[in-house]
Amino acid sequence: MENDKSLLKVEDLKTYFYSKEGTVKAVDGVNFSINRGETLGIAGESGCGKSVTAQSILRLTPKNGRIENGRILLRTDEKTVDLVSLKASGDEIRKIRGKKISIIFQEPMTSFSMVHTIGSQIIEVIRLHQGCTRKEARDRTLELLNMVGLSAEQAIDAYPFSLSGGMRQRAMIAMSLSCMPSLLIADEPTTAVDVTIQAQVLKLLRRIQKEKQMALIMITHDLAVLSELCDKVMIMYLGKDVEHAPTKELFSNPKHPYTKGLLNSVPKLHQGPRQKIEAIKGTVPSPYALPTGCSFHPRCPDFIPGLCDKEIPKLFDVDENHKVSCFLYQ
């Protein structure tokens, strides 16, 4: 386990939020690993803990959240650090943020400070991690803005409010790549921009990822994005990883009833109009009162009474690279 070649390995990660209303187990035992240059897709319904997983990796969870369990092993220059063991605002994690691991958030509209120019916000990261002169950092910023397809000379001195959502998201990508991280986490980078911009941004991400041999974690609702961009996929449901598989395998041979439901709930192009779209029955339970046993059992068509509502399934191997947490595959 310890000596495999993965860049990042997350083991049994649990991140809980505490409030007056109770505890939200936002992430409740998630496992995955990603190699250099690989793309991992994370998908699942809204609120299943995708963003919190991403924030936990960089130790960015808000104050009321805490990592309760698990390890996040990052391999850097033949040394492996467990990010969970670091202090959340200490020097060590700060040297990883923005330099080894970058993150692009869901909201391009508010991700930049409105009172500083795009350039100054990018230059800041470069100078922080690379200790170069202002001039060198500025040249590098121009290069980056060019690379993401913005007219660099204009964009560098522009304030974020004068750029469109798509342009901002490009600038955000430029910023996240400024120190050539070995891992980029993109948390639904295209949900807030329109369809044509979406396609451009995704193409850009894919191109850069290939060029720089960067690992990419792509968080998305969009199954089309998964199938186009990702080498492998993890499906999450209520804070747990329920299925892991290479992308092709997942689409052709989904195992978990939830994954099947998810794939059936979107229209397929080649089947034309009037096809039957099946929504998964029932609704996502309240995060304060999770069901016993497998948390999907109240909505599951293949529910086995006496088993699924009593015990929590672990991840079973279907195949070498295909794992699913469902008693049907025990």
Partner 1 sequence: MLRFILHRILWMIPTLLFISILSFIIIEAPPGDFMTTYVSRLREQGEDMGQVTIDGLRARYGLDQPIYVKYFKWIRGVVQGDFGQSLEWQRPVADLLRARLPWSILISLSSLLFVYLIAIPIGVYSATHLYSKLDYFFNLVGFIGLAIPNFLFALIMLWFIFQRTGNAAIGLFSREFLMAPWSFARVIDLFKHLWLPALVIGTAGTAGMIRIMRANLLDELSKAYVMVARAKGLSERKVLYKYPFRIALNPVVSTIGWTLPALFSGEVLVSIVLGIPTIAPIFLGSLMGQDMFLAGSIVFIMATLTVIGTLISDILLGWLDPRIRESI
Binding site for partner 1 (CB under 8 A): 55, 58, 60, 89, 94-99, 102-103, 105-107, 110-116, 124-125, 128-129, 159, 161-162, 175
Contact region with ligand ATP (CB under 6 A), list: 30-38, 48-56, 142-150, 197-205: 48-56
Looking at beta carbons only, is 113 or 265 nearer to partner 1?
113
Measured from the CB atom, is 30 or 171 closer to ligand ATP? 30
CB of 51 to Mg ion, least distance (A): 3
Q: Which of residues 259-288 bind ligand ATP (CB under 6 A)?
A: 287
The whole-angstrom separation of Cα 329 and Cα 91 is 45
Distance CA 146, CA 189 (A): 19
Does 29 engage in binding with ligand ATP (CB under 6 A)?
no
Assess 51 for contact with Mg ion (CB under 5 A): yes
Q: Which of 11, 35, 47, 303 binds ligand ATP (CB under 6 A)?
A: 47
Q: Does 55 bind Mg ion (CB under 5 A)?
A: no
Output the six-digit token pair for 179. Answer: 């120190």
| DSSP notation for 75-115 | EETTEEEEGGGS-TTSHHHHHHBTTTEEEE-S-TTTSS-TT
Comparison of 94 and 260: residue with beta carbon closer to partner 1 = 94
Closest approach, Cβ 26 to Mg ion, in A, equals: 10
Phi first, then psi: give them for residue 69, nearest 5 degrees.
Answer: -160, 160
If 0-12 CB within 10 Å is exposed, 13-18 middle and 19+ buried, where does residue 296 land?
Answer: buried
**What does 60 bind: ligand ATP, partner 1, Mg ion, none (CB cut-off 5 to 8 Å by kind)?**
partner 1
283 binds, among Mg ion, partner 1, ligand ATP, none (CB under 5 to 8 A by kind): none
How far apart (Å, rounded) are the C-alpha atoms in residues 220 and 202? 12
Q: Which does 47 bind (CB under 5 to 8 A by kind): partner 1, ligand ATP, Mg ion, none?
A: ligand ATP
Half-sphere CA count of 244, side-chain side, radius 13 A: 18
120 close to 156: Cβ distance less than 8 angstroms: no
Contact (CB, 8 A) for 327 and 307: yes
Give dist(CA 55, CA 203) in Å, integer.
Answer: 24
DSSP string, 264-295: HTS--GGG-TTPPPPPPSS-PPPTTSPPSSST
Whether 231 contacts 246, CB under 8 Å: yes
Q: Which does 213 bind (CB under 5 to 8 A by kind): ligand ATP, partner 1, Mg ion, none?
A: none
Identify the residue among 2, 5, 62, 305 touching ligand ATP (CB under 6 A).
62
Q: Between residues 175 and 238, which has the closer beta carbon with respect to partner 1?
A: 175
User: Any contact of residue 167 with ligand ATP (CB under 6 A)?
Assistant: no
Looking at beta carbons only, is 47 or 149 nearer to ligand ATP? 47
Q: Which residues bind ligand ATP (CB under 6 A)?
A: 17, 24, 26, 46-52, 62, 64-65, 287
